[in-house]
Every structure is written in structure tokens, then in C-alpha cells.
Amino acid sequence: MQYKIKLKATITKNVTRDTSQYSIL
């Protein structure tokens, strides 16, 4: 589940990116 934490950090840095895709995770 570490990848989720890493992904969340990426989302925080790239909020403008496709957040809807990561929202599912």
C-alpha cells in the first residue's frame, strides 16, 4: 500500500493533472 501514499504525494504536487483518475485509487 506504499504506492498509494507515493501516488497521493504525486497528486498533491500535480493537482492540475487528471485527479479524477487517482480519486478511484
* Residues 2-22 pLDDT 10s: 777 677 767 676 665 565 665
What pLDDT, on the 0 to 100 scale, is given for residue 14?
63
Q: How many domains does the chain fold into?
A: 1
**CA-atom Rg of the chain in angstroms:** 8
In the prediction, which pLDDT does 15 show? 66
1-25 as b/e: b if 16+ CB within 10 A: eeeeeeeeeebeeeeeeeeeeeeee
H helices of the chain, in order, are 2-13, 19-24
pLDDT for the residue numbered 4: 76
Q: What's the pTM value of the predicted model, to 2 decimals?
A: 0.26
Q: Which three cell numbers stand for residue 15?
A: 493537482
Q: Which domain holds residue 5?
A: 1-25
